[in-house]
Amino acid sequence: MAELVPSLPDPQPLPGVARLDLGVLSVRRLRRFGPALPELPMSADLAVGTAARADGLLLAAPAPGEWLVLGSHSTIADLAPTQDPTAFLALAVGEAHAIFRLAPALAAEALAAYAPIDPASLTPGTATRARFAEITALIIPEPDGSLLMLVDAADADHLVALLAFMTTDP
């Protein structure tokens, strides 16, 4: 499966960790009654706690009435104005988030060490919001066993420090 966009090099790369340069669109339903779903690729079939890919985008539904779309910055910028502003709040929030890809071996070890999640529940097509150490993260498993982790930008350095601790030999 092709990556959405290439990984950005980190100043001090960690084995098995890549920071991704993706745009993020946050879409939230504003009205209780009105359109049930925004006009997003494959949103009609997306249940809470799931994720899907289409047209170079990754769409996750972490909570009722909330969707996150990950893709190239230009695609996200084009997609935001298409949402009905009386029914949905659509904001490009890429600068407020950091997105990491953890390689399969590191992903399994990191989950066992820092997350109270049953790894069997993390299958491709799911999107789970959970605590990872002291950080709230949206965790999206990939078909190859790697994990995408979306965290607040303010927590990125803390996450990198935890992962660096895991990847250094004693």
Q: What's the predicted TM-score (pTM) here?
A: 0.81
Average pLDDT over residues 100-128: 90
Query: Is 90 exceeded by the pLDDT of residue 92?
Result: no
Q: Tell me, what's the pLDDT at 165?
A: 83
48 in any annotated domain:
yes
38: CB partners within 8 A, 6+ apart: 27, 29, 67, 83, 84, 87, 88, 90
10 in any annotated domain:
no
8 in any annotated domain:
no
Confirm if 108 and 122 have CB atoms less than 8 A apart.
Answer: no
DSSP code of residue 111 = H
Average pLDDT over residues 1-11: 47
User: Residue 22: left (phi > 0), alpha (psi -120 to 50), or beta?
Assistant: beta
pLDDT tens digits along 68-81? 889 888 888 887 77
1 in any annotated domain:
no
3 in any annotated domain:
no
36 in any annotated domain:
yes
| Domain CATH number, residue 109 | 3.30.1360.120
pLDDT tens digits along 18-38? 989 998 988 887 766 555 666
pLDDT tens digits along 116-164? 888 888 899 999 999 998 899 999 999 999 999 999 999 999 998 888 8
Print the domain residue range for 31: 16-167
4 in any annotated domain:
no
Q: Tell me, what's the pLDDT at 84?
A: 73
Residue 122: strand, helix, or coil? coil
| Count of structural domains within the chain | 1
Residue whose C-alpha is closest to residue 17's, from 136, 168, 133: 168
